[in-house]
Chains A and B, each alone.
Chain A
Amino acid sequence: MRKLILFVALAGLIYSLAFAEELEYFKVYKPTPGMTADQIMRIKYFNKYTLFAHDVSYTGRAFFIDKSGATRERSTARKRINLGRKSDDIAYKDLNIFTGPTQVKGLSNLSWSYLDPKREQDVWLWLPSLKKIRKISQSASDDSFLGSDFTVEDITTRRFEDETYKLVKEDNFPGYTSEYMKKTYSKDTPCYVIEATPKRTNWYYAKRLVWVDKNYGVNIYEEKYNSKGEKFQTIFRLHKIFDVSGKEYPLQMFLEGKELRSGHRTEIINDTVEIERGLSEKQFTPEVISRSRW
């Protein structure tokens, strides 16, 4: 019996150590009972950046809606190729292209993200007004992501290593009623509720309360709080599960972000999603975006 306990303990230790490292690309991970907050959040980040797939392509629309209801719209085409390549530290490459309205049509952004969590992205911007590609610095993590109510780190740069985590409770999600869709989503989804505290001091939020789906390890809802304990932002993410060769890929299809202080909100709708198209890394180079026609 003692040998059995020892074996189980050893197996648990090995499992924990495995999760202390980065998860292996192109595999599907789901939370399992008894996982720590850190292990759950590692899976959550793995899924957020779709590291289970070799490539993902989206077309979608974003709506920026102010308190009065005035709405601005952007349409985009996005592609990501995941590489997880240690030889040159490349984690993945993203290409975002505005397809509308005409004023911003063609504006493109190519970013390369690295495995090293302390390393910033390499970013190139195609500027239609100059017909030129420009290398730029990564946007500040607390800046608005393309004018939305999400910050840059909400969408692209926040890493597992940026916060510390505490499991608050396990609970069924009460449901989220979207102002835009006029529907209630994810009601009674079993979740882990995790408190995430940024390691940076004097950061724009003091903590986040994150609801992670127990079945798929994706973040369906979060609330941000300031240092006074006041809630100032909520983000809801609706995922759809895609069956690819028997593997279940959870992908974000709809996001609603609300800035509670200004009453401004952002809706992101992914109209089409394509997975494992066999995209070539050659499509993610500055030379290729400099061939933009718009």
Chain B
Amino acid sequence: MLKYMLCTLLVLLLPCSMAFADISAGNLTVAGYLKNETSLRIESLNGDLTKFKNILELSGEYDIKDDQLVFFTKAKYWYDAAYGFRDKLDIAGHYEEHIQRTDWLRDCYLDYTNGPWFLRLGKQQVAWGQADGITILDRVNPVDLREFWLPDFVDIRIPLWMANINYSPKLNSSLQLLFVPDFQQSEAAYLGAPFVFRSWTEFNNFQKTMEGIGRAFDITLRPPPRQLHNSTWGLQWSDRVGDLNYTLNFLYGPYYNARNNIYTSTINGVYTYTVPRAFKVWRVYGGSFNKSFTEPGPMQGVTLRGDFAYYNDEPTYVGDPVAGSTKGIKRWDNKFWLIGADKTVFTNWVISAQFAQYILEHSRDKAADRPVQQQYPMNAYTYGPLDPVDNIFTLKISTDFMNQRLKPEVLWSFTDDNQGKVSPKVTYEIKDNLWLTLGIHYFYGNPWDSNGQFRDESQFYTNLKYTF
């Protein structure tokens, strides 16, 4: 353990030698950071380290021609030493100790601006919608949930290679076309990792039990073939009417989360479960708005924002939530909407509240070949019951002290099922280039709920970030 600590210290101290060095020269700008993220499970503060992640990120921008043609790239490497402390090479460690595959390349694109045209070509992420922390329209990129929804969204979205073409026909209006030939599935934590989804653990337990009695599993991942019609397409129209900014959105493409279908058969005399993990095509129709009340009156100082999405053919699990057993995937037309309000009170206290509803097309499936108890919608994260209407609330309060050097914040997100997450944190600017964050993520609720499944994973964490 001491070896890893020393390595981390060295990595953190190395760039101190080039502290404040001006690495912007001519048209080239380079910046980056080193960061240590450490978390301890609250239930066992006697040393149950769940994360000791050291991150190096470097960004470079090269202005090829007068801000009209600019190249930008960002690379990232991380190493989570917590897996080295475990004294065993488990499957989670194999996948989560180091950065995987091409994930190190976070951004790599060329920007071209000419009159009303703006093109961004390359690996990038695109954020749609107005919601904070809830992905209603923000579905262009897949997501990396290996640490659940805890990291910043810039780290949660998985960048994709795409063409992002924008045309502004008039002031404050813009038409955006996205063509995404690239595909990556959303990532989830692996078995044994702190934030592995209960559904995966349940399925793995089922698999082990069945294999114990001589049954076989044939699990295959079926990413969409690389063909034009499997590409993701997006369209967004942004405009302003009076004081109201709005967007209209459309997205077509493969759903980024694979869904398990289970078929049974006897192959070579062995009872076999065939599990194709497929990515179904879906469509999102939606829109968003924001409006600040700037005129004098009781609403002055309030900003309202909202998202609405109609998910056409969203792959939805149905099955027996009590037994934690899925029986199939249905492609339902579900709806998700949110409204949020922000206001500053007492000089520098910002209150931000959101209410969202995720509404399923049906309260249960109506398959004739299965008993009723096997026809209920299931939470894909937990295989627990999914409410036909899920009410979600978030409340964030933030302020600052010491000339914005000390910034406390608390975020509480919860649903009407008495489950949620409370995340207080405080960030302190030690120096311009050295920032410390201390915080807690406290999960509560039933184990079959999205947050409640991690009620034993509540954590105390620190982030120390050195920028250059």
Contact = CB atoms under 8 A, between A and B. Distances in A.
Interface string A135-169: 11111101110111100000000000000000000
Nearest to B72: A293
25 contacts: A72-B432, A101-B433, A102-B31, A102-B467, A120-B292, A120-B294, A120-B300, A129-B153, A131-B127, A134-B132, A135-B130, A135-B245, A135-B305, A137-B302, A137-B343, A144-B403, A144-B404, A146-B404, A147-B405, A282-B116, A282-B171, A285-B168, A286-B172, A287-B166, A287-B174
A121 B343 CA distance: 14
B459 to A, nearest CB: 20
Interface in A71-93: 72-74
Contacts of B70: 293
Categorize the interface residue count of chain B: 35 or more
Given A103-B435, A137-B343, A131 B174 contact: no
A136 B154 contact: no
Contact of B344 (A73, A139, A285, A287): A139
B344 A101 contact: no
Contacts of B32: 102
B125 interface: yes
A252 B217 CA distance: 73
Contact of B432 (A73, A130, A131, A138): A73
Contacts of A105: 31
A91 to B, nearest CB: 12
Contacts of A120: 292, 294, 300-301
B291 to A, nearest CB: 8
A101 B127 contact: no
A137 B342 contact: yes
B455 interface: no
A102 to B, nearest CB: 4
A30 interface: no
B78 to A, nearest CB: 17
Contacts of B290: 135
Contact of A135 (B127, B303, B404): B303
Interface residues of A, number: 45
Given A130-B152, A147-B404, A136 B174 contact: no
A121 B290 CA distance: 14
A31 B71 CA distance: 49
A155 B339 CA distance: 32
A276 B238 CA distance: 29
A118 B294 CA distance: 9
A147 B245 CA distance: 29
A129 B303 contact: no
A254 interface: no
Interface string B413-434: 0000000000000000101110
A264 B401 CA distance: 13
Given A130-B153, A131-B154, A285-B172, A101 B467 contact: yes
Pairs of residues from A and B, 9 with the lowest C-beta to C-beta distance, nearest first: A147-B404, A102-B467, A135-B290, A129-B152, A132-B127, A120-B294, A287-B174, A102-B31, A147-B403
Given A64-B403, A137-B342, A142 B347 contact: yes
Interface of A: 64, 66, 72-74, 101-103, 105, 114, 116, 118-123, 128-132, 134-140, 142-144, 146-149, 264, 281-282, 285-287, 291, 293-294
A111 B348 CA distance: 18
B347 A291 contact: no
A130 B154 contact: yes
B245 A286 contact: yes
Contacts of A118: 295-296
A149 B402 CA distance: 10
A72 B429 CA distance: 9
B161 interface: no
B227 to A, nearest CB: 29
Nearest to B159: A131
B435 A122 contact: no
Interface string B293-329: 0111000111101000000000000000000000000
B118 interface: yes
A122 B305 CA distance: 13
Contacts of A264: 403
Q: Which of A121, A135, A140, A149 has the most CB of B within 10 A?
A: A135
B294 A122 contact: yes
Interface in B342-394: 342-344, 347-348
Contacts of B132: 130, 134
A281 B171 contact: yes
B61 interface: yes
Interface in B19-54: 31-33
A293 B61 contact: yes
Nearest to A121: B294
Nearest to A105: B31
Contacts of B174: 285, 287
Given A137-B301, A143-B344, A294-B59, A102 B168 contact: no
B171 to A, nearest CB: 6
A132 B153 contact: yes
A101 B33 CA distance: 11
A101 B111 contact: no
Given A130-B152, A135-B245, A147-B404, 8 more contacts: A103-B33, A120-B292, A121-B294, A139-B348, A143-B344, A282-B171, A293-B107, A294-B61
B46 to A, nearest CB: 33
Interface string B122-147: 00010100101000000000000000
B152 A148 contact: no
B66 interface: no
A130 B127 contact: yes
A143 B347 contact: yes
Nearest to A266: B403
Contact of A119 (B157, B295, B467): B295
B409 interface: no
B305 A293 contact: no
B432 A101 contact: yes
A140 B168 contact: no
Contacts of B72: 293
Nearest to A259: B403
B300 to A, nearest CB: 6
A101 B132 CA distance: 25
